């Protein structure tokens, strides 16, 4: 059982986490939800399409203009409070690596801290414990936030993913983060080249076997683009293929841009796996 905010999710229940970037320079939408009104419209649409989690980010993952902690707080805290007011039952996640940002957004109503940079700030897990919120423990290959990997290598990429994410998860639990609120994430593209991310996807079952719920952030990423030689705006089909494979191998939470399309993929995989009945059943019954 995964418990986040007011929601509880069964082991085989797929969960969609919709991305809402409060940045002017996002790699995917180039700032489409930087302003409050389009960002709130995006939240409303994502919830109506089936997203259970809204993941709010105030700093783009890649290199770019420096964003101070104070500016990150300014971009996220008021928005978290407004989303909390408009959607009392939605799970609010904030993508940050800074404990001071985590403190501010939790005070405003966030339910989950998405630490995509692998515990680079140890104080973030302490914030999650103090506020009783969930925590995503990610493998980022030891790279500094907002930097790209350079000639990075692993003897066994999945072994390193497991070593890091399980270590972060157990540390968080030891600090008092609820065990039913901790997720592990292989960190596609983070500290990895395309072959590493493909192998991590292929071996996701090894993460699922640990017993921790697995989150994957696949949406329109570079490993999809390089695999298919497609630019950012032409990666949806590849993303959905990777999503289907990840669902079959046991991932539970999916951080995505395209909510409706992802939900159809997850519902189909769940039905094939026997975890969900078809929405209708007419064929061959007349």
**Assessment of whether the complete model's pTM goes beyond 0.85:** yes
Query: Per-residue pLDDT averaged across 237-254, rounded?
Result: 98
* Residue the block writes with tokens 């600090």: 175
What is the secondary structure of 32-91 as a DSSP string?
Answer: TTSSHHHHHHHHHHHHHHT-SEEEEESS-SSS-S---HHHHHHHHHHHHHHHHHH-TTSE
Nearest to 21 by CA among 32, 10, 13: 32
Q: Is 85 a catalytic residue?
A: no
- pLDDT greater than 80 at residue 36: yes
Q: Is 84 a catalytic residue?
A: no
Q: Which of 31-45, 90-104, 210-224, 263-277 has the lowest mean pLDDT?
A: 31-45
The two counts, helices (H) then strands (E), for the chain are 10, 10
pLDDT band at 97, cuts 50/70/90? very high
What is the chain's mean pLDDT, rounded? 96
User: Which listed residue (42, 98, 192, 255) is catalytic?
Assistant: 255
Query: Would you tell me how many other CB atoms lie within 10 Å of the CB of residue 122?
Result: 11
User: Which listed residue (86, 221, 263, 282) is catalytic?
Assistant: 221
d(Cα 81, Cα 65) in Å, to the nearest integer? 26
pLDDT band at 198, cuts 50/70/90? very high
User: Could you tell me how far CA 281 lies from the centroid of its own chain?
Assistant: 33
CB 7 within 8 A of CB 61: no
Q: What angle do CA 261, 10, 50 make, to 5 degrees?
A: 25
d(Cα 260, Cα 256) in Å, to the nearest integer? 10
N residues, the chain: 286
Phi and psi at residue 206, in whole multiples of 5°? -65, -35
Output DSSP code: residue 214: B
d(Cα 83, Cα 36) in Å, to the nearest integer? 10
Domains of the chain: 2-6+13-273 (3.20.20.20)
- pLDDT greater than 80 at residue 140: yes
């Amino acid at each position: 059982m995964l418990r986040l905010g007011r929601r509880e999710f069964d082991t085989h229940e797929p969960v969609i986490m919709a991305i809402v970037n409060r940045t002017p320079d996002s790699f995917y939408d180039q700032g489409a939800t930087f302003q409050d009104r389009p960002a709130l419209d995006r939240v409303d649409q994502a919830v109506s399409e089936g997203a259970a989690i809204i993941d709010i980010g105030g700093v783009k993952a890649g290199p770019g203009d420096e964003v101070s902690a104070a500016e990150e707080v300014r971009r996220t805290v008021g928005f978290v409070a407004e989303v909390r007011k408009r959607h009392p039952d939605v799970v609010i996640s904030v993508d940050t690596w800074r404990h001071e940002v985590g403190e501010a957004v939790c005070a405003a109503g966030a339910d989950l801290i998405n630490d995509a940079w692998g515990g680079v700030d140890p104080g973030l897990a302490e914030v999650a414990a103090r506020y009783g919120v969930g925590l995503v423990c990610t493998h980022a290959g030891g790279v500094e936030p907002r930097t790209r990997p350079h000639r990075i290598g692993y003897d066994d990429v999945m072994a390193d993913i497991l070593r890091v994410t399980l270590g972060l998860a157990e540390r968080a639990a030891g600090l008092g983060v609820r065990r039913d609120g901790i997720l592990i994430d292989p960190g596609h593209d983070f500290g990895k080249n395309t072959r590493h991310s493909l192998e991590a996807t292929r071996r996701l079952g090894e993460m699922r076997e640990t017993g921790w719920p697995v989150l994957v952030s696949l949406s329109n990423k570079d490993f999809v683009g390089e695999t298919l030689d497609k630019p950012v705006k032409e990666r949806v089909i590849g993303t959905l293929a990777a999503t289907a494979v990840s669902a079959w191998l046991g991932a539970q939470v999916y951080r995505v841009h395209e909510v409706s399309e992802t939900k159809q993929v997850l519902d189909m995989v769940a039905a094939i796996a026997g975890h969900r009945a078809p929405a209708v059943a007419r064929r061959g019954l007349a």
